[in-house]
Amino acid sequence: MARKYSKKASAKVARAMKKRKAGTLKSGRSGRKVKSRKQAIAIGLSEARAEGKKVPKKPAKKKKTAKKRKSSKKRKSKR
């Protein structure tokens, strides 16, 4: 069976994990320190993806469908 991720992509993730553990990995836009393991993996994969390494595409976001509103007619209470 073929590899899902290339060896270079795995190396990028490993580098990001080591940087996170050392406390030097920072997120892109805000520049804050990354604390979560999942975020470090995502950063490594996105860097590999940007370099054109073999990495599966991001999962597509589900589109929200408009919900139909029920008519909110107030019932007459019997007293």
Residues of the chain with confidence (pLDDT) below 50? none
Q: What is the pLDDT of residue 59?
A: 79
What single letter denotes the amino acid at residue 65? T
What is the rounded distance in angstroms from the CA atom of residue 19 to the CA atom of residue 40? 9
Question: Taking the domains of the chain in order of start, what are their residue ranges?
Answer: 7-50
Q: If 0-12 CB within 10 Å is exposed, 13-18 middle and 19+ buried, where does residue 44 land?
A: buried
Structure tokens at 64: 């929200």
Q: What is the pLDDT of residue 62?
A: 80
Q: What is the pLDDT of residue 77?
A: 67
- Contacts for 51 with CB less than 8 Å, ≥ 6 apart: 8, 12
- Contacts for 2 with CB less than 8 Å, ≥ 6 apart: none
pTM: 0.66
Q: What is the pLDDT of residue 60?
A: 81
| Contact present, 31 and 24 (Cβ < 8 Å) | no
